Amino acid sequence: MLRDTLRRFLSDVYSDEQRNVSLATEHGMSREIWLQLAELGVVHALFAEHVGGLGGHGYDIATVFEEIGRAGVVEPLLENAILAGGLIADLGTDDQRAVLDAVMSGGHQLAFAHGEPHSRYEMSRVSTAAKAVGQGIVLNGRKAVVSNGEAAQTLVVSARTAGEDDAEDGISLFLIPADAPGLSTREYPKIDGGFACEIDLHDVKVPDDALLGRSGDAFPAIEARMSMAIAAVSAEALGAMETARQLTVDYLRTRTQFGRPIGKFQVLQHRMADMLIEIEQARSAVLNLAAALDKPRDVRERNASATKNLIGRVGRLVAEECIQMHGGIGMTQEYSLAHFARRLVMVDHEFGDTDHHLERFIALSQARG
């Protein structure tokens, strides 16, 4: 139901022109589109019922993000609903959750500031320090490639309150207003759409009730939300693969060289057939993870790494093959494929790449015995 509504809405309004308008607007998003998505209930669908949402389960995530990917939407749904909003829903007090109504109705922007300049893909490597000082907490450190960070009015920031730099224990989360003194941002475009920023925290002072969840105990919640984010970007990649595939099939049918449509050449037919098989593998991987999100930690995490590894491989294959089979036209900025190809490749740089998750899958499998 939601899938049909969302697909129809996006195919009506979210053209290449609309995406370019969004990207040329402040913070790389269209306020109008964002409010329309909220009105359709797309943001609600990604939150659990106990915080006023309509679901937030694996299949909701997979459904919404596949459509987001199919249309190439650059608006920050992941950042608001899955990551920062999700953590507030999972860990927040009633007071802290109060902001979620505004988030779901499109009136408040969030971002999750977790990665750091040297953390690469390690979820537990947090060097930003939070120290109790009299009445409150003081944060110092730097956060890297924070998607939607500049647009956000409220940031969920991870910081270390105890332990070594890469320890799972000792990580805490804080709700920090974007205009907090000592917090500065540097915004830039991402190569695949949208904006991110670097955040410097210099003696940023927050009250004790800025703490989200228990002190030093945030890692399990972060890990669970990262798996949901992996489900989201994997489903988004699946949608992007379908669009890239369709563009390429259409091109093979219409582009004529040597007196016939190039889709009549067997070498291209076979490559297209291989791509179709791999995209179906990607679809199954997304379903596996969607089903595993509610399962115990070991099942969930093993599936998250399996899916992200496969999506990384297939995403690259689809992007590269679609460009190659188009030839020069596939490399031009103004042709639709460019956006989808860039997104498919760059998904591998979010929440752990193919190799990171291959190693993690091995480690999780061995730990299981």
Partner 1 sequence: MSAQIDLGEFRKEVREFLREKLPVRISNKVRSGLRMSKADYEEWHAILNEKGWLAVNWPIEFGGTGWTAHQRFIFEDEMCAAHAPRIVPFGLMMLGPVLQKFGSQAQRDRFLPRILNGDDWWCQGYSEPGAGSDLASLKTRAVRDGDHYVVNGQKTWTTLGQHANWIFCLVRTDTEVKPQAGISFMLIDMASPGVEIRPIRLLDGEAEVNEVFFDDVRVPVENLVGEENQGWTYAKYLLTHERTNIAGTGFAKAGLDAVKRIAGQEMAGGKPLAANPLFAARLAQVEIDLMAMETTNLRVIAQVAAGQAPGVESSMLKIKGTELRQQINDLTRRAVGPYAIPFVSEALDEGSNAQAIGPDYAAPVAAQYFNNRKLTIYGGSNEVQRTIIAKQVLDL
Residues at the contact surface with partner 1, assessed by CB under 8 A: 115, 117-118, 120-122, 144-145, 166, 186, 188-192, 196, 198, 256-258, 262, 267-268, 316, 320, 323-324, 327-328, 330-334, 338, 341-342, 345-346, 348-350, 353-356, 358-359
Question: What distance lies between CA 276 and its chain's CA centroid?
Answer: 24
* In the complex, least distance from residue 192 CB atom to partner 1, rounded to whole angstroms: 7
User: How many CB atoms lie under 10 A from the CB of residue 266?
Assistant: 7
Cβ closest to partner 1, residue 60 vs residue 75: 75
Cβ closest to partner 1, residue 32 vs residue 169: 169
Cβ closest to partner 1, residue 44 vs residue 125: 125
Distance between CA atoms of residues 155 and 111, nearest Å = 5
Q: Where are the alpha helices (DSSP H) in 75-150?
A: 77, 85-91, 94-97, 99-104
Encoded amino acid at 82, one letter: I
* In the complex, least distance from residue 352 CB atom to partner 1, rounded to whole angstroms: 9
Half-sphere exposure (CA, 13 Å, Cβ side) for 36? 15
CA–CA distance from 117 to each of 29, 126, 143, 151, 158 (Å)?
25, 10, 7, 21, 14
Cβ closest to partner 1, residue 283 vs residue 357: 357
* In the complex, least distance from residue 95 CB atom to partner 1, rounded to whole angstroms: 33
* In the complex, least distance from residue 5 CB atom to partner 1, rounded to whole angstroms: 31
Cβ closest to partner 1, residue 120 vs residue 253: 120
Distance between CA atoms of residues 223 and 220, nearest Å = 5
Nearest 5°: the CA angle 160, 300, 314 is 100
160 in Cβ contact with 170 (< 8 Å): yes
* In the complex, least distance from residue 232 CB atom to partner 1, rounded to whole angstroms: 16
* In the complex, least distance from residue 88 CB atom to partner 1, rounded to whole angstroms: 23
Cβ closest to partner 1, residue 46 vs residue 341: 341
Closest CA to 173 of 79, 90, 231: 90
Distance between CA atoms of residues 75 and 56, nearest Å = 18
Distance between CA atoms of residues 270 and 268, nearest Å = 5
Cβ closest to partner 1, residue 8 vs residue 270: 270
Burial, 182: exposed, middle or buried (Cβ in 10 Å; 0-12, 13-18, 19+)? middle
* In the complex, least distance from residue 234 CB atom to partner 1, rounded to whole angstroms: 17
